[in-house]
Chain A
Amino acid sequence: MSTEAIAPPRPGPPLRALLRPVVGPLVAIVIATLVGAALVAALGQNPIEVYSTLIEGGIVGWPNLSVALQMTTPLIFTGLAVAVSFHAGLWNIGAEGQMLVGALAAGIVGYAVPLPPVLHVPACLIAAAFGGLLWASVPALLRVYLNVNELVICLMMNPIALLATGFVATHALKAPGPTNKLPDILDSAVLPNFSLFSQLNAGIFIALACCVAVAIVNAMTVRGFEWRIMGLSPRFAYYGGVNVRRNAVAVMLISGAIAGLGGAEQVLGVYKAFYDNFSPGYGFDGIAVAMLANSNPIGVLFAAFLFGALSAGSGVLQMMTGVSKYLVQVLQFIIVLVLAAQFSFAWLFGRKPAKPSARVSVARSVEERTGTEKVG
């Protein structure tokens, strides 16, 4: 999508240019829908009935919609975190771990540090952002200063975060009782909920604000422009005078901080305490969200809502038809698969593959550079 920005303006209807970034994701969604329908039919159910129940359970009526928005919120955070890094050609797939560490930080500040309500929530949010940032700093620094592939480090940091936070919740600071969790956070730290039907909470506004902020930075600041150039061609960025190394660290840290905020939303708004192993994989779903959104912060909102609504609809689908929860997960996986296939087709047939090759080359060129870089 961002290719147009630097490519010389091409003749053609502007509508087409507007639609282009949406076509890929839509194709993926349509294909997933069709494959899903075939699966449902193979299971002996009526696909139309199943899909209409899924849509109804996902968005029709406030109870269902509020559940969809509850499920959407963490995906906005993790999707945005991943999208920020993808946008700059970096692979931060460690959002899961960064979210867990952020959640733990929010959980600790939430119960152990008594503060007036005006300060408590911000304090928890700052702690969470810092926790996520801290966890992301490991792959960021290793990446930039020791040429270690951030993909691998991020992936490895995820189980470490799960086990480390699990240790705190099951041993070090465990609340009494049969569940592995920290003590409940104080009332002053709670993000208010809106309805009985879901744990949708004020955290969704923080998520929206983050998306808008990233969109503004991307579109209107020099920093955002540099990140985009890095994402498109790090070599070009380097020769154009962009400090690739410093920017790469900054992007990773911001990405981690956003994921950490996602953890705070879960602790302060949904669980009201840090629970061991609370995430069913929001960080990994975030990768799919970022892919579907083509790393666009506003696109993240829509992609996250699609996945959130699918999860919400899945609950009703199970109530009404007995179709397993896995159907919805299969749909998500097919979407990701189709998107990945698109990238590789583009590569195969030599079309402009937008991002992925750029991502690979940033890895390479940052590697080349870190040893020899002289320009600051």
Chain B
Amino acid sequence: MLQAIGKLSALATIAVGLVLGTAAEAKIKVAMVTSESGLGDRSFNDMMNEGMKRAVKELGVEYVVIQPRSISEFQSTLVRAAGQGFDIIIGSSFDMIKPMQAAAAAFPNQKFGLVDVGPDPIASNVVSSVTKDWEGSFLVGVVAAKVTKTGTIGFVGGKDIPIIHRFFVGYFYGAKMAKPDVNVLESYSGTFTDPAAGKEYTLALVNQKSDINFAVAGATSAGVIDAAKSTNTFAIGVDSNQNYMAPGHVLTSMVKRVDTQAYDMIKEVVDGSFKGGTVKYYGLKEGGVDAAMDQYNKGLIPDDVLKQIDELRQKVISGEIVVPNYFDLKAGQKEMGTPPIASPPSVVNKPG
């Protein structure tokens, strides 16, 4: 009986859909696949969900969120979603590259998107995006240089590896652009997982008069933020908005706007410009990185400083300033960027 009602109502829905379908096109259906941490992570997954909501509002699409419990479920999730008639399936995280390649090969007509991964194309029916984190680091470097009272700012990286140097070079360049005489201290805790080390390294920087420290160190960053709280200095968060972690002590966060990246992928599907196999770069111009401003850091940065920061942002967008990418720098390069400034010691001594 209930089943009959269900079937009848399904038929009715289809009928109504057909009638409406003649008037308006069928809605674009989007599937968002989270990484294993799922929604509620106050990080990438939540931010990407915001991008979905924006697409619903502005593009009139429909979306569902699929949350695999572990990396082992990525492939089965993607492949089964590919059979469900979604117009695009969007995922994130490096761990999804291989599963998505397998799914994309099996369903060559299915469109996929993968946000915030490396510069290598994933597959001929996948659009992927790269975040220009060096431009975001530039922006928070500007903020730090403008706000510091001691004239010294610091950087706590995780491991001493090229990808983390890329953040430092952007940060250093931004700081020097904003205030040429600012002193920038560089340090690497050697770990992405140890908050205690983050705290130790930050205290050492504070002892050298640094009052703003940029944490690019995964879970180690929590220690950097903790140290900012205990020494009444500022920390700068990274990747996702970490301002809430210590309100009043996180000056801002360098956020990767995965919401914008996902939104743009949907938009391409909607307006028909989706082209599989492309890799899109997201810097300041594309709205792919930003310095997070919210209720937790309200008032920490004076309005006139915000205005100056915006001027420099505009110069990057117009191309007047080109922030150096560490991977493009040669060993021992003395000057970097456009306009050129003196390279920090870590670039001058860069191993060939």
Q: Which residues of A contact B (CB under 8 A)?
A: 46, 48-49, 57, 63-64, 66-67, 70-71, 166, 170-171, 177-179, 196-199, 266, 270-271, 275, 278-280, 311-312, 315-316, 318-322, 324-325
Contact = CB atoms under 8 A, between A and B. Distances in A.
Contact of A279 (B67, B70, B192): B70
Interface of B: 2-3, 6, 31, 36, 38, 64-73, 75-77, 79-81, 83-84, 86, 94-95, 102-103, 106, 191-193
B66 A318 contact: yes
Given A48-B2, A315-B76, A319-B80, A196 B106 contact: yes
Contacts of B106: 196
A315 B193 contact: no
Contacts of A179: 94-95
B72 A278 contact: yes
A319 B71 contact: no
A198 B71 contact: no
A63 B80 contact: yes
Contacts of B73: 71, 315
Contact of B36 (A64, A271, A280): A280
Nearest to B62: A322
A66 to B, nearest CB: 8
B341 to A, nearest CB: 30
B270 to A, nearest CB: 20
Contact of A319 (B2, B31, B72): B31
Contact of B69 (A67, A170, A325): A325
Contacts of A197: 76, 79-80
A319 B76 contact: no
B75 to A, nearest CB: 6
Q: Is the interface of A mostly helix, strand, loop or mixed?
A: helix
A-B pairs, 8 with minimum CB distance: A280-B69, A280-B70, A198-B76, A67-B76, A318-B66, A270-B72, A322-B64, A325-B67
Contacts, number: 80
B2 A177 contact: no
A321 B66 CA distance: 10
A199 B77 contact: no
Given A170-B193, A316-B80, 10 more contacts: A70-B72, A170-B192, A171-B191, A199-B76, A271-B72, A278-B70, A312-B76, A319-B64, A319-B84, A324-B67
A236 to B, nearest CB: 43
Which has the most chain A C-beta neighbours within 10 Å: B65, B75, B102?
B75
Contacts of B191: 171
A166, A280, A324: residue with the most chain B Cβ atoms closer than 10 Å = A280
Contacts of B70: 278-280
Nearest to A329: B69
Contacts of A320: 64, 84
Given A48-B2, A318-B64, A325-B38, A196 B72 contact: no
A318 B65 contact: yes
B94 A178 contact: yes
Contacts of A322: 64-65
Contacts of A57: 80
Contacts of B94: 177-179
B272 to A, nearest CB: 24
A196 B83 CA distance: 13
A91 to B, nearest CB: 26
B65 A63 contact: no
Given A63-B83, A319-B80, A319-B84, A266 B72 contact: yes
Nearest to A177: B94
Contacts of A49: 6
A44 B79 CA distance: 29
Contacts of B2: 48
Contacts of B3: 48
B215 to A, nearest CB: 18
Contacts of B71: 271, 275, 278
9 contacts: A67-B80, A178-B94, A179-B94, A196-B103, A199-B75, A199-B76, A275-B71, A315-B76, A324-B67
A48 B6 contact: yes
Contacts of A324: 67
B81 A319 contact: yes
A166 B103 CA distance: 29
A301 to B, nearest CB: 20
Contacts of A67: 76, 80
B72 A315 contact: no
A269 to B, nearest CB: 10
Nearest to A318: B66
Contacts of A46: 6
Contacts of B192: 170
A372 to B, nearest CB: 47
B67 A63 contact: no
Nearest to A312: B76
A52 to B, nearest CB: 8
A177 B161 CA distance: 11
A49 B338 CA distance: 60
Contacts of A198: 75-76, 79
A312 B69 CA distance: 11
A218 B283 CA distance: 64
B69 A196 contact: no
A66 B36 CA distance: 20
A311 B69 contact: yes
A63 B64 contact: no
A242 to B, nearest CB: 41
A124 to B, nearest CB: 17
B55 to A, nearest CB: 15
A178 B161 CA distance: 11
Nearest to A63: B80
Contacts of B193: 166, 170
